[in-house]
Structure 1
Amino acid sequence: MYKLGDVLEHVGREVKFGFSNHLFLGAFLIFVVFLGTFGIWFSPAYDDSEKFFIDAFDKVGMLTYCAPLLSVTIFDASLRAIITLHKKENAAESGLYAWGAFLTIALIVFVAISLANAPRDVFSFWSLSAGFLSIFYWFVVNASNDSYKKPTNNSSPSGRGVDDSNMLLSGGKKK
C-alpha cells in the first residue's frame, strides 16, 4: 500500500518530467496558461471599466477558469485510470489511483473554499490559490500523457526523436 510520502514523491517525479518535456511545457504554457486565461485577462481591455487589470482575476473570473479546467482534467484522468486498471488489473496501481482520487476530492474542496472566500470584483490571494491549484493539478495529471511526447526511434543510439525533414517535404512518406 502506498503511503502519503510515496504519493508526494510520485507527484514530484511528474513535475520534474513535465518541466523536462519541452513539447508538454510549450503546450501547457500556450494552451492552458495563456489561451485558457484569455477570457479573464481580455475582459478589462475589452470593457471600458475603471477596473485594474489584475482585478479581472477575481472570484467570478477564476471560477470561469477553474471549473472547466478541473472538470475536463478529472474526466480525462478518470478515463485513463479506468482504462489502465482494466488493462493491467494491478493492485499496487489501484492503490495509487485511490490516493489520486482522495487528493482530487481534497483539491476540489480547497478550490471551492478558496473561491467562496474570494471577494467579488477585486483580486485576492484566495482566487490566486484556486487558480494555481487548478493549473498545478492539470500539470501533474497530464505530465506523463503520451499525447505530449515526441515520437522516438528506439533503434537510434541516443533514444532521441528523429526529425526527418525529408518526410515533412514528401507529406510523411519516406523516400
Structure 2
Amino acid sequence: MYKFSELTEELSRKNKLITSNHLFLFFFMVIVVFIGGISIWFVPVFNTVPFDIFEVVKKICANLTAFNLMAFSIPLLSVLMLDNSFSLFLSYKENGSEILNNSSIWLAISFFVCLIFITILFGVGRNDVDFSLASFIAWLLTLYIWLVSNVEERKYQAPTSSGSPSGGDLNSSAALMRGQK
C-alpha cells in the first residue's frame, strides 16, 4: 500500500506517453510555451534591429528573470490546480473512492512537494534584472508538472473514430473483436 515504486512507475508511464503523443507535444510547445511565454520572448525579438539571431537569443536569456518566469508559472500552476481539483472531485462523485488509487495519491503528494520546491527556488532566485538558474529550474519543473498532469486529458488527444479497433466506445470495440461491423 502506497509504495514509492508506484510513483516512479506512474511517472515512467506518463513520460512515455508524453514522448509518444506528438499532437500533445505540438500543442504544448505552441500554446503553452510559445504563446504562454510571449512576455519572455516578444520584446527581445521585436526590439532587435537589425535582426541578429545571436543578439535575440542573448536578449531572451537576459529576459529570463525570476519575475518573468514567475509571471508565467503562477497562472499556469493555478489553472492546473483548479482543473485537477474539479476533475478529481467530479471523478470521485461519479466513481466513489475507486478514483483514489495509489498512483493518484502519490502524484498529488509529489505535486504539492514540487509546489513547495518551486516556491523555494523562486525565492532563492529572486532577482529582477539578471538570469536566475534557480528560477529557470523552477520554471522547467512547472512545465514538467503541467505535462505530467495533462498528458492523459481527453481534450488534448487526437480524435479516434468509433470504428477503429484501438478507440471508440466500448460497444463498437467489442463488436469489432467479435468480427461484427
TM-score by structure 1 length?
0.80
**Residues 79-129 of structure 1, C-alpha deviations (whole Å, 9 max, x = no match):** 111111222223573443332322121111111111111132111210111
CA distance in 2, matches of 1:83, 1:107: 24
Pairwise CA distance, 1:130 = 0.8
Q: Cα RMSD between the aligned structures?
A: 2.3
Structure 1: tracts of 5 or more residues without a match: 162-175
Deviations along 1:41-86, whole A, 9 cap, x unmatched?
A: 11334568x9833121111011101100111111111111111122
Task: Out of 137-146 and 101-110, give the one that drifted further.
Answer: 101-110
SS of 2:163 mapped into structure 1: coil
Q: Aligned partners of 1:88 and 1:160: how far apart in 2?
A: 22
Query: In the aligned structure 2, how far is the partner of 1:151 from the partner of 1:140?
Result: 20
Which stretches of structure 1, 4 residues or more, deviate above 6 A after TM superposition? Answer: none
1:127 to 135, 145, 162: 135
* Separation of aligned partners in 2, 1:156 and 1:113: 47
- Distance in 1, matches of 2:21 and 2:7, equals 21
Residue from 22, 44, 58 that aligns with 2:65: 58
1:121-148 per-residue CA deviation (whole Å, 9 max, x = no partner) reads 1112101111100000000000000001
| Unaligned ranges ≥5, structure 2 | 49-54, 169-181
Residue correspondence of structure 1 range 25-174 to structure 2 within 5 A: 25-45=25-45, 52-91=59-98, 93-118=100-125, 119-157=127-165, 159=166
Match runs of 1:3-18 below 5 Å: 3-18=3-18
Identity, in percent, stands at 30
| Matched positions, count | 159
Structure 2 distance, partners of 1:139, 1:132, is: 11
